[in-house]
Structure formats: structure tokens, C-alpha cells
Structure 1
């Protein structure tokens, strides 16, 4: 795919959604960090149902740490892998309290040092909480990047590297959200909704699917 076509795709996505936002509910960098940590292999909907009950009770590193692993589990037990996630969140809270005065660091290395926080989670926090031009590649972005040929790669790191290279600076902060939402609601894994896709004519996917097929 050439850069002119990429720009057209980004301009259409921006026109359709000028101010994209994550679908995770949060009101602080710490709440976002917890929500993204919990969202691994889980839907945003399931995470929001849990955090909507958790955050009114505990939404700081100290208050969640005070719940303890078992106390936290009671709030997140409807989310997949909740046992390990509870352990990681409590450990992360301890580090935030002891090393960062209870604040989420605006620093990739410090974020990735936290249990349960990998490159993708760090990218989401840096982008969504702090406005960094990072691109967190999840399954949706990986699929859309490869399927459209916008940014092809054999793994998420390759797709991220390609997107950072080809996405103009003016789009970098928002492209993460645009591609996630596009993959979640239009470019579906099993059967993409090509007939209602706003970038269908620019997409280079060879297996396009239409309603009458």
C-alpha cells in the first residue's frame, strides 16, 4: 500500500471519528492502568462491569493494595484469568506506592517493570493517559493492519514498527483507537463488514465480503 492511500484511510477515519477514545471506563491514569491490565484476553465490556463496582470502592494504588489479593478477586472474578490478574495488580500497586509515590509513571521502562504490564499495556497508558504518539497493537490492529495491507507484519511488534514508520505525526496519537474500533465493529475477524466499511475502496484485502454473499 502506498502512502497516499494510507493518508486517505487516516483522513476518512478521522472525519468519521475526530476524537476517538478508549471504550474502557477510567478517570485517572491509575484507573486506566488497572483497566488495561484486566483487559488482557477479556472484553472491554466485561472489564467495565467489574471496574464500575471496584473503582467507587478503591481507585488508588493504596486503596486497592489494602483490599489484598482475595479482596480484589471478589470484584474481578467475572473476568478471565482473574486470579493471576489480581496478583499482578496488587504487586503493581505495591511498586507504585514504594517507588513512585502512588502515581503512574510517565515512563515506558518504569511501566513495563510493573507486573502484568507489557509493551502493549504501556503503550495504551502512555497514549491514552499522557497523549504520547504510541501505537499499541492488539489483535484488532494486527488484523486490520495486515488485512488492509496498511501495515503488514508477522507479529505485533512488526506491525507496530511499520505503523510508527508510515503513519504521519498528525495521526499518531489517534490511530491506535481508530484501528481498534474499526477492527471491533467493522473489520471483524470471522466476517468483515466490507459493505458498510468507509475505507473499503482503499483496502487491499483480496477476500472482501458483502451482504449478498
Structure 2
């Protein structure tokens, strides 16, 4: 795919959704971090249902750490892998309290050292909470990037590096959200809705549908 086509794709996605954001519900960088940790192999809808009850009770690292692992489990037991996630969240909260006054540091190295936080989660927090031009590649973004040929790669790291290289600066802060939403609602896994896609004529996917 040539760069002119990429820019047109991104321009259309921007025109369609000028101010995109995550579908996870949060009020602070801390709450976003916790929501993203909980969202691994789970849906945003499912996470939001849990955090609507959790965050009013434990809105910050201090109060969440005070819940303890068993206390936290009562709020997140509807989410997949909740046992491991509870352990990681409480350990992360304890570190934030002990080392960073309960605040989420705007630092990639520190974020990636927290329990339950990998590169993708750190990218989401840095992008959504702090406005960094990072691109977290999940299954939706991986699929859209490869299907369209916007930024093909054999794994998420290759796709991330390709996107960082080919996406112009003016689009970098928001491209994560555009691609995730496009993959979630239009370029879906089983049968993409090509017939209702705003970038169908620019997409290089060979097996397009009429949906």
C-alpha cells in the first residue's frame, strides 16, 4: 500500500470520528490502568460492568490496595482470569502506593515493570491518559492492519513498528482508537462488513463481502 492511500484511509477514519477514545470507563489514569489490566482476554463491556461497582468503592491505589486480593475478587469475579488479575492489581496498587504516592507514573519503563502490565497496556495508558503518540496493537488492530494492508506484519510487534513508521504524526495519537473501533464494529473477525465500510474502496483485502 502506498502512503497516499494510507493517508486517505486515516483521513476518512478521522472525519468519521474526530475525537475517538477508549470504550473503557474511567476518571483517572489510575482507573484507566486498572481497567486495561482487567480487559486482557475480556470485553470492555464486561470490564465496565465490574468497574462501575468497583471504582466507587476503591477509586485510587490506596483504597484498592486496602481491599486485598480476596476483597477485589468479589468485584471482578465475572471477568475472565479474575484470580490472576486480582493478584496483579493488588501488587500493582501496593507498588504505586509505596513508590509513587499512589499515582500512575508517566514512564514506559516503570509501567512495564508493574505486575500485569505489558507493552500493550503501557501503550494504552501512555496514549489515552497522557496523550503520547503510542500505538497499542491488540487483535483488532492486528487484523485491520493486515487485512487492509495498512501496516502488515507477522506479529503484534511488527505491526506496531510498521504503524509507527508509516502513520504521519498528525494521526498518531488517535490511530489506536480508530483502528480498534473499526475492527470491533466493521472489520470484524469472522465476516467483515465490507459493504458498510467507509474505506472499502481503499482496502486491499481480497475476500471482501457485500455486508
Residue 6 of structure 1 aligns to a residue whose secondary structure is helix
User: What does 1:147-158 correspond to in 2, within 5 Å?
Assistant: 147-158=147-158
Cα distance in 2, alignment partners of residues 153 and 59 from structure 1? 38
Residue 92 of structure 2 is matched in structure 1 by 92
Residue 124 of structure 2 is matched in structure 1 by 124
Residue 51 of structure 1 is matched in structure 2 by 51
Residue 56 of structure 1 aligns to a residue whose secondary structure is helix
Cα distance in 1, alignment partners of residues 66 and 97 from structure 2? 11
Cα distance in 2, alignment partners of residues 28 and 176 from structure 1? 19
Residue 9 of structure 2 is matched in structure 1 by 9
TM superposition shift of 1:101? 1.0
Size of the alignment, in residue pairs? 211
Residue 34 of structure 2 is matched in structure 1 by 34
Residue 188 of structure 2 is matched in structure 1 by 188
Cα distance in 1, alignment partners of residues 203 and 98 from structure 2? 49
Residue 57 of structure 2 aligns to a residue whose secondary structure is coil
TM superposition shift of 1:59? 1.3
Q: Residue by residue, what CA displacement relative to the aligned partner does 1:70-101 show, whole Å, maximum 9, x if unpaired?
A: 00000000000000000000000011011111
Cα distance in 1, alignment partners of residues 95 and 2 from structure 2? 45
Cα distance in 2, alignment partners of residues 154 and 95 from structure 1? 35
User: What does 1:57-76 correspond to in 2, within 5 Å?
Assistant: 57-76=57-76
User: What does 1:131-210 correspond to in 2, within 5 Å?
Assistant: 131-210=131-210
Cα distance in 2, alignment partners of residues 183 and 141 from structure 1? 7
Q: Which runs of 5+ in 2 are unaligned?
A: none
Cα distance in 1, alignment partners of residues 78 and 137 from structure 2? 25
Cα distance in 2, alignment partners of residues 106 and 52 from structure 1? 25
TM superposition shift of 1:51? 0.1
Cα distance in 2, alignment partners of residues 194 and 146 from structure 1? 15
Q: Residue by residue, what CA displacement relative to the aligned partner does 1:16-65 show, whole Å, maximum 9, x if unpaired?
A: 00000100000000000000000000000000000000000001111000
TM superposition shift of 1:186? 0.0
Structure-1-length-normalised TM-score: 0.99
Cα distance in 2, alignment partners of residues 66 and 27 from structure 1? 20
Structure-2-length-normalised TM-score: 1.00
Cα distance in 2, alignment partners of residues 88 and 29 from structure 1? 17
